A = this chain, B = another copy of it.
Amino acid sequence: MPKRVDHEERRSQIAEALVRVAGRRGLHAVGMRDVAAEAGVSLRLVQYYFGTKEKLLLHGLQHLTDRFTARVGARLRAGDAGTGPRATAEALLLTSLPTDEESRTFHLLYTSYAILSVTDEALAAQPFIDNPDAAEDALTGLLRQAQEAGLADPGVDARTEAIGLLAMAAGLGTSILVGQRRPESAAEVLRHHLDRVFTPVTP
């Protein structure tokens, strides 16, 4: 046999090429030849490791979400999240905004996949439903935590508030993506709404 190669690494390499070229030209415009060229391999190689385009797209989605949840987790663990629930919630929401190239690509492709899944049942059966649920649970927990510590308005339902904030962040993210709003402006809107929720009780 030829040099035994790490299949999983090669697949990741090709999947990242898919993400790059799709982030540049749009998911609808990416073909297998583009992915092959971007990864620096032959078309046959892409076929060899993924077989069909659908499987390539599915793996690309998986790769995308994995990388981004890792990034969000890292930013939450390290740095600016040590100063209480408010800071953690703010970091959680602001990190999901498309500010730099990587998060911009993530937003663009994640939304593309989501829209595609509406009319493509093979994509609809994919895993990326549990991810928002995890964020929802985390944010709800942070809000409850703040309420119990007297740092947030106890009169609001934590889960409802969390759902709304996440939806707002997603909507603002799309606005940034299409160039309708600047990242700083969106962050400001988000912080304003967080200010209204995280209001220390003054009895």
Q: Are B189 and A119 in contact (CB under 8 A)?
A: no
Q: Which residues of B contact A58 (CB under 8 A)?
A: none
A142-182 toward B: CB 8 Å interface, digit per residue (1/0)?
00000000000000110011011011111110110111110
Complex Cα gap A21–B177 (Å): 26
Give every chain B residue within 8 A of A33 (Cβ-Cβ): none
Q: Does A70 contact B (CB under 8 A)?
A: no
Q: Name the one of B114, B161, B175 contacting A174, with C-beta atoms under 8 angstroms.
A: B114
- A193 contacts B164, C-beta separation under 8 Å: yes
Residues of B within 8 A of A166 (CB): 171
**Known contacts A164-B192, A174-B170, A193-B164: does B115 contact A111 (CB below 8 Å)?**
yes
State which size class the interface on A falls in. Answer: 35 or more
A24 within 8 Å of B (CB atoms): yes
The one of B114, B171, B177 that contacts A178, using a Cβ cutoff of 8 Å: B114
Say yes or no for A196: interface residue by CB 8 A criterion: yes
Given contact pairs A117-B178, A119-B29, A189 touches B171 in the complex (Cβ within 8 A): no
Residue A188 at the B interface, CB < 8 A?
yes
Question: What are the nearest 6 A-B pairs in CB distance?
Answer: A167-B171, A26-B119, A171-B171, A170-B171, A168-B168, A167-B172
Beyond known contacts A26-B116, A196-B196: 7 more, CB 8 A cutoff: A29-B119, A108-B115, A108-B119, A114-B177, A164-B172, A167-B170, A171-B174
